[in-house]
Amino acid sequence: MSVSGNRQMAMRWIETAEEDLHTARLLCSANVHAPACFYAQQAAEKAMKALWYALDQEPWGHSVVALVENFVERDALPDWRQWSDYAAQLDQFYIPTRYPDALPTSTPGRVYRASDSERALACAEPIVNGCREWLAAH
């Protein structure tokens, strides 16, 4: 892929990450917390994938932790260790927030609360914002 192609792909991913973050905020404010948590996780995942694409790398998987910790320029991130901690919290929201059989005796809509979606947003926002800043600087 060309440098301009890499940049275009990265911008598509960061734009979608920002849309997912906006969706997570809306869902949280509407008291729809399980999907809010999932969209927050998706926002961070897509933001990190934007950085990978910007460097012509092929991101694989859905673990935000892996995307942060395996990023070839992780030392150039604002605080990759803090991002890794945030990512570990977000990775917990990838599957159980979506599937009725992922929790032993309940459904995601009954289990996830405002505190969960607020925590998810607090973890996703610095990653998405930091990725946007990283892209602007590179």
Please report, in angstroms and rounded to a whole number, the separation of the first and last CA atoms in the chain: 17
Tally of domains in the chain: 1
Q: Please give the share of the chain, as a percent, with pLDDT higher than 70.
A: 96
- Token pair, residue 10, equals 């990265």
Detail the DSSP E strand segments found in 41-93: none
User: Mind listing the pLDDT tens digit for each residue in 96-118?
Assistant: 999 999 999 999 999 999 999 99
Q: What range defines the domain where residue 12 resides? A: 3-137
CATH code, domain carrying 11: 1.20.120.330
